Structure 1
Amino acid sequence: MKKELHIFFTCLMFYTRIPCPKNITHHPDYLNKATRYFPFIGWIVGSISFLAFYVFSFFVSIEAAAILAIIASILTTGAFHEDGFADVCDGFGGGWTKEKILTIMKDSAIGAYGAVGLVLLFLLKFKLLSESISIFQTNNLDFPFLIFLLFVNAHALSRLSAVSIIFTHEYSRDDASSKSKPIAQQYTWKEVFGSFFFGLLPLIVLSYFYHLFILILIPVFLTRFFLARYFQKWIDGYTGDCLGATQQVSEVIIYLSVLILWKFI
């Protein structure tokens, strides 16, 4: 149990800004095993984001509360995944060889592709999230609980989509320049089982209330498949930035899928 707690806190420290015990470090062995808790971090981030939304919804509009919820999630993770998304936009937008793409992604400065990508990402996330919440509210559903499940599912399942690439593809960089490298080198059945358990459980619970929501898995893993294939084609694998981009895109796809399923099926 003590070792599992150490692994969990390693994952929590790596992916969020939440304070952890002082003895927790980025030890490669614990980072390798921390992938089993990555989707569970989505439970935590999603819960914090929902709490911000729920509290502020008493004082401001649904749209404003949704923006504040997104801000809460960004503050919790330190924009960890958004930064990866921006780097991927810059790298794949401005590079035409593996070496050039990796060099651009390693650069800490944000370029035009990254800036435009982030603006469009946040606009989409805000609009889709606020519309999804409005649908639950308008249809007199159990508003707080189902919205809570929506938040947690979006953050957990999108992280499963990202971490699953580790189980099927190779890390792209040949050097040790990225701190994401240790988490991408080894895994066992425990990491695979833990990731899928924590990643799928919120969706299963949500689907209990509206069965068709289980179909969200189809567009999410189609998105994951095509992104992974795209990364493989251009850089022979993935990087930590690619995982962050996959998480962000998958989160948007989840909100979009909820709207489509509710309105048209």
Structure 2
Amino acid sequence: MRIVQEWKMAVQFLTRLPWPEKPAAEPAPFDETAFVRSVRWYPYVGLLIGGILVGLSHLFFAFLPAVVAGVLLVIAEIAVTGGLHLDGLMDTADGLLSGRDRERKLAIMKDSRVGAMGVISFVCLFALKWALFTTAGPHFPGVLLLMPAVGRFAMVWAIAHYPPARQEGMGVALAGRVPVAQLLGTGMVLSLPLILWQVKGFVVLCVCWLVFWWFTRSMVRSLGGLTGDTYGALCELTEAVFLLAATAILAR
């Protein structure tokens, strides 16, 4: 029962997929402990998202030109996730690229309005994913399957290893509260690229790790820690790097 509750919380938090529930007289109180434990399921929710993308890829590329199918895949991913991590990416871009001091950067990131840097980061990411989905979709379904899982594992690793930048918010609720056993359990998804692509899979993961390490170190130096927005930015960045590296390496 506890596992089902954790899985449900992970799916409901990371996606907009419907979850059948019995009507209740009043909503149940928020269970923070279960919310923290649900983090271990994030990469496996990523596999669920990837499975949906693979299924849609077969449908789109069978009936539509590749360019159109690639756009629809990007839109489908946004629809499934509700744009949760894209919002974090745009807020992070607005803050980090503002050129202000730490406190002002955090204030900008907390603002619900999107600035120029946020819009630019969204357009660049959309264009990159569109091009890579168009290329990878019909030829490398394993890339589409694993991309969301690797991105969400990056989130879990960041949650477990880096301090929060604020004294309130999602970063405080989660940061440093993921036990090693849970981290090892989520890391099982990283064995899949190795199983599918052997040495090439290892090279892809190494590229992702180097970019992830550089970006997290940069954010911690700039902000003093990580926030919920930066977790989303890390997820999106890792997905894009995984797509780019896998498409380039597997095509050789």
Same fold (TM over 0.5): yes
Alpha-carbon distance in structure 2 between the residues aligned to 1:115 and 1:152: 27
Question: Aligned residues: percent identity?
Answer: 25
Q: Which residue of 1 aligns with 2:187?
A: 196
Q: Which residue of 2 aligns with 1:139?
A: none
Q: Which residue of 2 aligns with 1:141?
A: none
Is the counterpart of residue 51 in structure 1 residue 44 in structure 2? no
Trace 1:1-265 onto structure 2 (pairs within 5 A).
Answer: 2-20=1-19, 21=21, 26-133=30-137, 136=139, 146-147=140-141, 149-175=142-168, 178-179=169-170, 181-197=172-188, 199-207=189-197, 211-263=199-251
Alpha-carbon distance in structure 2 between the residues aligned to 1:3 and 1:164: 23
Q: Structure 2 vs 1, CA of residues 233 and 179 (structure 1 numbering), >3 Å: closer, same or farther?
A: closer
Q: Which moved more, 1:235-244 or 1:94-103?
A: 94-103
Q: Which amino acid aligns with 1:67?
A: V
Alpha-carbon distance in structure 2 between the residues aligned to 1:168 and 1:14: 21
Displacement, 1:206? 2.2
Q: Secondary structure at the match of 2:185?
A: helix
Q: Structure 2 vs 1, CA of residues 18 and 259 (structure 1 numbering), >3 Å: closer, same or farther?
A: closer
Displacement, 1:204? 2.9
Q: Secondary structure at the match of 2:211?
A: helix
Alpha-carbon distance in structure 2 between the residues aligned to 1:7 and 1:158: 19
Displacement, 1:107? 0.8
Displacement, 1:263? 4.5
Q: Which amino acid aligns with 2:155?
A: A
Deviating beyond 4 angstroms after TM superposition, the runs of 4 or more aligned structure 1 residues are 22-26
| Cα offsets for 1:220-265 (capped at 9, x unmatched) | 011110111011101111011111111111111111112321355x
| Cα offsets for 1:161-194 (capped at 9, x unmatched) | 222111211111113xx24542335121332122
Q: Secondary structure at the match of 1:173?
A: coil
Alpha-carbon distance in structure 2 between the residues aligned to 1:64 and 1:111: 28
Q: What is the TM-score of this pair, normalised by structure 1?
A: 0.87
Alignment check: 8 A CA contact 2:164 2:225 kept: yes
Displacement, 1:26? 4.5
Alpha-carbon distance in structure 2 between the residues aligned to 1:239 and 1:214: 29
Gaps of 5+ in 2: none
Displacement, 1:31? 1.4
Alpha-carbon distance in structure 2 between the residues aligned to 1:219 and 1:74: 25
Aligned residues: 247
Alignment check: 8 A CA contact 1:10 1:25 kept: no
Alpha-carbon distance in structure 1 between the residues aligned to 2:134 and 2:69: 8
Alpha-carbon distance in structure 1 between the residues aligned to 2:83 and 2:15: 9
Q: Structure 2 vs 1, CA of residues 26 and 196 (structure 1 numbering), >3 Å: closer, same or farther?
A: farther
Displacement, 1:99? 0.9
Gaps of 5+ in 1: 137-145
| Cα offsets for 1:52-76 (capped at 9, x unmatched) | 2211222101221122111111111
